């Protein structure tokens, strides 16, 4: 029996013993909790009048509930480890010693008893760096007591599934290329791959980076940047338990489907899940007191593809807009306030005195919050001089009189003043409940609101992860810098910018975040086969990217006369099933094309191919196995075994990004299909073309 197999049997027994022990402890704690509940209800009427006994009972109950939760969390972790307790080992001889110590590496620490020497070391532990960063020979790791030096005698890699050893072998290199090809080139799952078994040296350096406040990762498509960011979060949580927990971390992700796609990673690594949301959703919530509704970003993308990008939109997202707002605010003070004398029960302030307080004493406070400060000063002075306290009702009346000196407090109206000053079209004057902000005005309005009113920063967030960083504008980053003073991990790929032209945000980010930002470029891609990677490269023109040498089927390019013919070909090429692939996608340029494709495929498919067809749009929340139909911009961040690119207009300024993003979603097979009739289907199933599109356009087709 091999060493690895023997150790697997040993550690599996020990894990099962601990799982059983924890199960018994959980049951015992639950009995204690039930007993405490019973005692409380039987005796609460006789507890002391001051509530001390009640408080003591509540605290004891809370302690037991917390103990049960911790035991349950630990048991879940042990059960996850039982499936694959370890994936690597290092035989390390410390300097001055002769005998080698064997360190087994897994997704979590495991010792037979709390505080004991681990049988398995967490991949984030200092000693685990030996596995990721060194080959045989001299090596070292940084432990709490200092740098530990020595020599690696041997390294082993293991594949364990369902508690059984699939293979094990001694490796001269950090991660064998065959392992990489097998792990990263495996069939596409409906969740992002956990890369803990295949972390490369350059990836490990990013994951374990704790020195840089802001880390910006520019990575090629398929370089694993999202996985690395999530593994970095897990590493930071592991090493800073006292100051950092899952509630202190926020991920700004592109959409809900992507959030679902990555949601399992942290639990797999032994951590609680963290909050995720889109920046757009955050902005819409913050503008509820300004407008009733806001245009969706995806509507805006569709409009840009159809009509082009508005010069006004570009200006409103630029440094020029920020400078214009700052200049506007300097002149706004005189226009915004009409000072008047204030009197309350014989105590008064002249308009000139209020003006001095407003312009000089409280000049650092934003304009629409400044009069509140002047009012508080007035109230404090009255209460001090008269020795009286003003009631809340009277205070509110005084506040209304002070705020009444503003010509307006409506940010929407003030924004229109700014647009007028800049010679730009103004928004329609409407009551709040009828206002609708187009996307180009969402962040300009939000920035103006932040500059006019006190805004609380998100101090509870101590680490922010921003995915798809290339899709954020200059203005959005200025807002983010005002909102978050925490550490950040930013990641993206300039070649995947969803816009007419590529945007390299790393050119202007240092101006916003300062010199505390470190830039890292990842040039090795692990996702696509060489054939697919070369095709993607021919579209983007990007050079200098290294590819994992995994070969596959050539890219298929084909033209069709009709849409029906094209989609029948898709169904004939899809390989989904237990012995084949897990995921495939039909990716289109526009939402209109995606909806038509989806309906047509459903009609042709008739649910007799053994897999389901799913449609992803802006309201979708999950990623499913089978054949997915969606737009290129909704597919960002996802990967599929097979990808079918459908049409797209070459005259559209988004065409290159469309083709590149679609191509880089494919793991194994890529089909590029074009149709002479780009989106009008020729399919007939009890509907002629005219009736089909009538039903499609009024929405009834999607309800069938």
The pLDDT of 114-140, averaged and rounded, is 92
The pLDDT value given to residue 692: 47
- Predicted pLDDT of residue 702: 44
**What is residue 44's predicted lDDT score, i.e. its pLDDT?**
67
For residue 184, name the pLDDT band (cuts at 50, 70, 90).
low
Q: From start to end of 278-351, where are the E strands?
A: 293-294, 342-344, 347-349
Residue 565 has pLDDT above 80, yes or no: yes
Q: Does pLDDT of 79 surpass 80?
A: yes
Assign 540 a pLDDT band (cuts: 50, 70, 90): confident
pLDDT of residue 115: 80
Residue-wise pLDDT tens digits, 193-216:
778 888 888 899 999 999 999 999
Q: How confident is the model at residue 138 (pLDDT cuts 50, 70, 90)?
A: very high
Report how far Cα 32 is from the mean position of its chain's Cα atoms: 40
pLDDT at 151 over 90: yes
Q: Average pLDDT for residues 530-542, to the nearest whole number?
A: 90
pLDDT at 683: 40
pLDDT tens digit string along 268-289?
A: 887 888 888 899 999 999 999 9
Please tell me the predicted confidence (pLDDT) of residue 37: 80
Over residues 548-553, mean pLDDT: 89
pLDDT of 398 over the 80 cut: yes
Average pLDDT over residues 228-257: 91
Predicted confidence at residue 169, as pLDDT, reads 87
pLDDT for 178 = 64
pTM: 0.87
pLDDT digits (tens, 9 = 90+) for 330-380: 999 889 999 999 999 999 999 999 999 999 999 999 999 999 999 999 999
**To 10 degrees, the CA torsion angle through 535, 540, 546, 551?**
-10
Burial classification of residue 376, based on how many CB atoms lie within 10 Å of its CB (0-12 exposed, 13-18 middle, 19 or more buried): middle
pLDDT at 411 over 60: yes
- Please state the rounded mean pLDDT for residues 24-51: 79
For residue 50, the model assigns a pLDDT of 62
441 band by pLDDT with thresholds 50, 70 and 90: very high
Lowest-pLDDT range, 134-138, 366-370, 471-475, 676-680? 676-680
* C-alpha–C-alpha distance, residues 237 and 419, integer Å: 45
Let me know: does 165 contact 5? Beta carbons within 8 Å: yes
Residue 685 has what pLDDT? 40
Exposed/middle/buried for residue 45 (C-beta within 10 Å: 0-12, 13-18, 19+): exposed
Cα(157)–Cα(198) distance, integer angstroms: 10
pLDDT band at 173 (very low <50, low <70, confident <90, very high): low
C-alpha distances in angstroms, 20 versus 65, 90, 160, 273, 374? 19, 29, 22, 25, 65
DSSP structure string for 84-95: ---SEEEEEEET
What pLDDT shows up at residue 176?
59
Give 529 or 702, the one with higher predicted confidence. 529
pLDDT for res 686: 43
The answer to whether the CB of 469 falls within 8 A of the CB of 216 is: yes
- The pLDDT, as a whole number, for residue 696 is 44
Rounded to an integer, what distance in angstroms lies between the CA atom of residue 131 and that of residue 289?
54
Lowest mean per-residue pLDDT among 48-62, 507-521, 629-643, 667-681: 48-62
**Predicted confidence band of residue 607 (pLDDT cuts 50, 70, 90):** low
Q: Which long-range contacts (CB under 8 A, 24 or more apart) does 239-245 make?
A: 239/124, 239/210, 243/462, 244/462, 244/463, 245/272
Whether the per-residue pLDDT at 30 is higher than 50: the answer is: yes
Given a cut of 70, is residue 32 above it in pLDDT? yes
- Residue 641: pLDDT above 90? yes
Q: What is the largest CA-CA distance in the chain?
A: 97
Q: Which of the pair, 114 or 338, is modelled with greater confidence?
A: 338
Instruction: Give just the sign of the alpha carbon dihedral 332, 336, 339, 345.
Output: negative
Question: Cβ neighbours of residue 626 under 8 Å, at least 6 residues apart?
Answer: 576, 583, 584, 611, 612, 613, 614
Mean pLDDT of all residues in 584-596:
94
| Mean per-residue pLDDT over the chain, rounded | 88
Residue 52 has pLDDT above 90, yes or no: no
């Amino acid at each position: 029996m091999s060493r690895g197999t023997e150790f697997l049997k040993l550690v599996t027994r020990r894990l099962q013993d601990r799982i059983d022990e924890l199960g018994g402890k959980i049951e015992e704690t639950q009995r204690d909790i039930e007993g405490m509940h019973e005692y409380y209800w039987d005796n609460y009427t006789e507890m002391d009048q001051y509530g001390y006994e009640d408080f003591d009972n509540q605290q004891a109950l809370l302690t037991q509930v917390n103990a049960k939760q911790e035991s349950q969390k630990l048991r879940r972790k042990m059960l996850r480890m039982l499936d694959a307790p370890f994936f690597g080992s290092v035989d390390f001889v410390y300097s001055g010693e002769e005998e080698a110590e064997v360190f087994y590496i897994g997704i979590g620490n495991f010792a037979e008893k709390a505080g004991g020497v681990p049988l398995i070391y967490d991949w984030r532990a200092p000693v685990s760096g030996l596995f990721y960063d060194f080959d045989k020979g001299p090596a070292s790791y940084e432990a709490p007591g200092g740098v530990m030096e020595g020599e690696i005698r041997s390294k082993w890699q293991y594949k364990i599934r369902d508690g059984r050893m699939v293979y094990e072998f001694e490796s001269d290199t950090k991660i064998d290329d065959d392992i990489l090809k097998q792990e990263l080139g495996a069939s596409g799952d409906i969740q992002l791959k956990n890369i803990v078994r295949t972390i490369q040296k350059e990836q490990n350096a990013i994951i374990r980076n704790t020195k840089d406040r802001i880390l910006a990762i520019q990575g090629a498509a398929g370089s694993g940047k999202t996985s690395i960011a999530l593994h970095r979060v897990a590493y930071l949580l592991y090493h800073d338990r006292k100051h950092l927990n899952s509630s202190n971390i926020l991920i700004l992700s592109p959409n809900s489907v992507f959030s679902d796609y990555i949601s399992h990673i942290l639990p797999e690594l032994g951590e609680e899940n963290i909050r995720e949301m889109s920046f757009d959703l955050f902005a819409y919530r913050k503008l509820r007191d300004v407008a009733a509704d806001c245009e969706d970003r995806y509507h805006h993308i569709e409009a840009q593809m159809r009509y082009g990008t508005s010069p006004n939109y570009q200006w409103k997202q630029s440094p020029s807009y920020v400078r214009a707002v700052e200049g506007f605010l300097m002149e706004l003070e005189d226009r915004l306030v009409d000072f008047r004398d204030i009197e309350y029960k014989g105590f008064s302030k002249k308009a000139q005195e209020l003006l001095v307080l407003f312009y000089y004493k409280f000049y650092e406070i934003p304009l629409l919050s400044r009069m509140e400060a002047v009012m508080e000063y007035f109230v404090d002075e009255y209460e001090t001089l008269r020795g009286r306290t003003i009631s809340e009702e009277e205070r509110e009346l005084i506040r209304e009189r002070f705020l009444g000196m503003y010509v307006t407090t409506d940010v929407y109206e003030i924004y229109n003043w700014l647009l007028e000053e800049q010679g730009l079209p103004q928004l329609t004057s409407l009551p709040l409940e009828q206002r609708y902000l187009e996307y180009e005005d969402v962040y300009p309005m939000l920035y103006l609101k932040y500059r006019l009113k006190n805004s609380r920063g998100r101090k509870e967030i101590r680490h922010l992860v921003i995915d798809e960083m290339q899709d954020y504008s200059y203005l959005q980053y200025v807002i983010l810098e005002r909102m978050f003073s925490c550490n950040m991990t930013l990641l993206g790929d300039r070649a995947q910018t969803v816009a007419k032209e590529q945007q390299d945000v790393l050119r202007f980010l240092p101006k916003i975040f300062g010199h505390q930002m470190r830039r890292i470029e990842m040039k090795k891609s692990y996702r696509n086969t060489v054939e697919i990677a070369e095709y993607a490269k021919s579209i983007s023109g990007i050079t200098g990217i290294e590819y994992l040498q995994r070969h596959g089927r050539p890219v298929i390019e084909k033209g069709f006369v009709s849409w029906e013919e094209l989609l029948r070909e898709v169904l004939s090429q899809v390989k989904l099933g237990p012995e084949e692939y897990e995921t495939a996608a039909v990716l289109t340029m526009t939402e209109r094309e995606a909806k038509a494709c989806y309906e047509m495929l459903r009609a042709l498919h008739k649910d007799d191919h053994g897999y389901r067809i799913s449609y992803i749009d802006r309201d979708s929340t999950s990623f499913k196995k089978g054949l997915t139909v969606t737009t290129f911009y909704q597919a960002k961040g996802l990967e599929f075994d097979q990808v079918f690119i459908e049409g797209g207009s070459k005259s559209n300024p988004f065409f290159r990004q469309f083709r590149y993003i679609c191509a880089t979603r494919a793991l194994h097979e890529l089909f590029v299909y074009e149709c002479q009739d780009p989106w009008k289907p020729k399919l007939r199933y009890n509907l002629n073309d005219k009736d089909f599109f009538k039903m499609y356009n009024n929405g009834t087709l999607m309800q069938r």
